[in-house]
Amino acid sequence: MSAATSQTAGAVLLPDSQVPLIRLRGITRDYGMGATRFQALKGVDLDIEAGDFVAIMGPSGSGKSTAMNTLGCLDTPSSGRYLFQGVEVQSLSRDQRARLRRRYLGFVFQGFNLLARTSAQENVELPLLYRGESPAARRAAAARALASVGLAGWEHHTPAELSGGQQQRVAIARAIVTEPAVLLADEPTGNLDTQRSHEIMELLWRLNVDRGITVLMVTHEPDMAAYAKRMVRFVDGVVASDVRNPHPVAEVAHAA
């Protein structure tokens, strides 16, 4: 096992300024075999620098969700190379990839995915429980995470007692409680009204700007993608365009 892979196995990756945080080269993903074979990704090349905010867009079936699952180590490519801080992710064992997810990646989903009969505090503590943190450390970290998303004082409320926007804030707190390097958000505003959607996007923008968390967001909504620094569009399993957004919405609003 290489030194870099050994570091990943112990979840002690060190930033390498010479390489992007994430690099995909020639990534393909096939499903099925023979006549039923479907190629969701057809040779994706993509670099993501630390501190970027990327909106991943594209029509249904374009490959954007498959790409997000690959980036989040929830799925493995059929071919190609995926490097995280210069480490070949495909060379890691299943346990090593799980440790990479727990230590470096946070996830936010459209459906919130909160435990219904569990308080906001306990929902946010869950990733730390899996990491074996002490009860006192879990409580303190969860309280800080909830406060950072504007939910101080709501720790003991269950999801049924929270609005959709508040539930998504709890989900974001759960994603950042481990202090991840990357936040992967899959349609984070898909279940919210317009006002709450913009509030959540403002929060994601703040986490990116103030805390330096790299944000990768799948969305089909151009007004939500406008908060990102960069827009990557997938079509038919490949990157069709990759453009910088010189004036993210929140940046313009705060400069006014």
22 touches 83 (CB < 8 A) = yes
- Cα 61 to Cα 67, 108, 134: the distances in Å are 11, 21, 43
- Cα 142 to Cα 76, 83, 131, 170, 174: the distances in Å are 31, 30, 14, 10, 8
The predicted pLDDT at position 251 comes to: 79
Cα torsion angle, 237, 229, 167, 162, sign:
negative
For domain 3-255, say whether CATH 3.40.50.720 is its number.
Answer: no
The predicted pLDDT at position 256 comes to: 60
The predicted pLDDT at position 249 comes to: 87
Tokens of 24: 């995909």
Q: What is the dihedral of CA 39, 80, 180, 197, to 10 degrees?
A: -30
The predicted pLDDT at position 19 comes to: 85
Q: Where are the domains of the chain?
A: 3-255
Strands (E), 140-249: 182-186, 214-218, 230-235, 238-244
The predicted pLDDT at position 16 comes to: 53
Full pLDDT tens readout for the chain, 256 residues = 344 444 444 444 555 557 899 999 999 999 988 888 999 999 999 999 999 999 999 999 999 999 999 999 999 999 999 999 999 998 999 999 998 998 999 999 988 999 999 999 999 999 999 888 999 999 999 999 999 999 999 999 999 999 999 999 999 999 999 999 999 999 999 999 999 999 999 999 999 999 999 999 999 999 999 999 999 999 999 999 999 999 898 877 777 6
The predicted pLDDT at position 33 comes to: 87
Encoded amino acid at 199, one letter: E
